[in-house]
Amino acid sequence: MTDNKRRASIVAVMGATGSGKSSSIRVALDADQGGRVLLWDVKGEYLRYGVECRTRRELFDRALKAGAGPFALAFRPSFDLDIGRAQFNWFCMLAYKLGNVLVVGDELHRVIRAGWSPAGWSMLISMGRDRGVRVIAASQRPAEFDKGFWDQATVIRGGRLNGEASARTLAGVLMVPWQDIVALPELHWIQRSISRPVIVRGHIAWRAGRPVEVVDREINLPSAARG
């Protein structure tokens, strides 16, 4: 099932280095049944989830060859920031055109800056649902995502952030005190979803060499926050 009934699914995973973003993404990939995955894999962390594509040509040809069928492709973008940003725009447009795909973008702080994001990314976020595109976006800098992204996000997960400005941005979206974000231990997270009016706290544990999610507690959102 790749269509996912056209439900919006934009998952934001934020946190500093070592806070557990990659582990959270791995849990999501392990659970995904969509069958079509495009990974923006800067560090080559997700090669067990997709065929490594070191050039755009390789990615494009493999995706087209799959047609409407399943594929899992991990694109290794350029290390050069300017080239990487241009590639990310192309990558997002490709995902949009392909449709019915889970797009996983890690280390997006390298390609999205405050006040500017590639047109392809904006298209993916605002209109991707109509084409069955689901998104998992991970970054170390929540402050660089625009309001449109936060308005569209269906699940927001925050790990530890070291900087106050970043923590304040994330705390505002999660509706928790920013000090809670700074104080999170490694691999612990706070999550809010549009589907339930609760704040969930949990952590990533490793069992049999695999990351798994453990929910520690749930707290009802204040009624004012629930609107």
Partner 1 sequence: MPPNDAAPAAPVDPELAALDPGNTPGLDDPAPGAAPGVSDQAGAAPGASQPASPDARRDAALVARMGIDWIIAAVVRQYPVLSYPEATRERAADLAGAVLAKHDLFGWLAKWREEFQLGAFVVGIAWQSYQVVQKAKATPPPVNDPPKPAAP
Residue whose structure tokens are 């920013």: 178
Strand order in the sheet with 71-75: 51-53, 71-75, 36-40, 101-105, 133-139, 10-14, 155-158, 188-193, 196-207, 210-220
Give yes or no for residue 111 binding partner 1 (CB under 8 A): no
Find the binding residues for partner 1 in span 141-200 (CB under 8 A): 141, 143-144, 161-166
Q: Which is nearer to partner 1, 181 or 199 (CB)?
A: 181
Shortest distance, CB of residue 214 to partner 1, whole angstroms?
25
28 versus 161: smaller Cβ distance to partner 1: 161
Question: Cα separation of 82 and 222, whole Å?
Answer: 43
Burial class (CB in 10 A: 0-12, 13-18, 19+), 102: buried
User: 64 or 205: whose CB is closer to partner 1?
Assistant: 64
Residue 16 C-beta: closest distance to partner 1, Å? 6
- Shortest Å distance, C-beta 60 to partner 1: 6
How many C-alpha atoms does 58 have within 13 Å on its Cβ side? 13
* Number of chain positions touching partner 1 (CB under 8 A): 36
Judged by CB under 8 A, the chain residues 26 through 65 that form the site for partner 1 are 42-44, 54-57, 60, 64
Q: What one-character-per-residue DSSP string does 115-148 give?
A: TB--HHHHHHHHHGGGGTEEEEEEES-GGGS-HH
Among 30, 70, 83, 194, binds partner 1 (CB under 8 A): 83
Q: How far is the CB of 115 from partner 1 (least distance, A)?
A: 13
Which region among 24-32, 81-89, 148-156, 215-223 touches partner 1 (by CB under 8 A)? 81-89
Residue of 218, 174, 158 whose CA lies nearest to 21: 158
Buried b (16+ CB within 10 A) or exposed e, 3-16: ebeeebbbbbbbbb
Question: Which residue, 5 or 57, is less far from partner 1 as judged by CB?
Answer: 57
Whether 108 and 146 have beta carbons less than 8 Å apart is answered as no
The only residue of 2, 51, 90, 126 in contact with partner 1, by rule CB under 8 A: 90
Chain residues binding partner 1 by CB under 8 A are 16-17, 42-44, 54-57, 60, 64, 67, 76, 78-81, 83, 86-87, 90, 93-94, 97-98, 109, 140-141, 143-144, 161-166
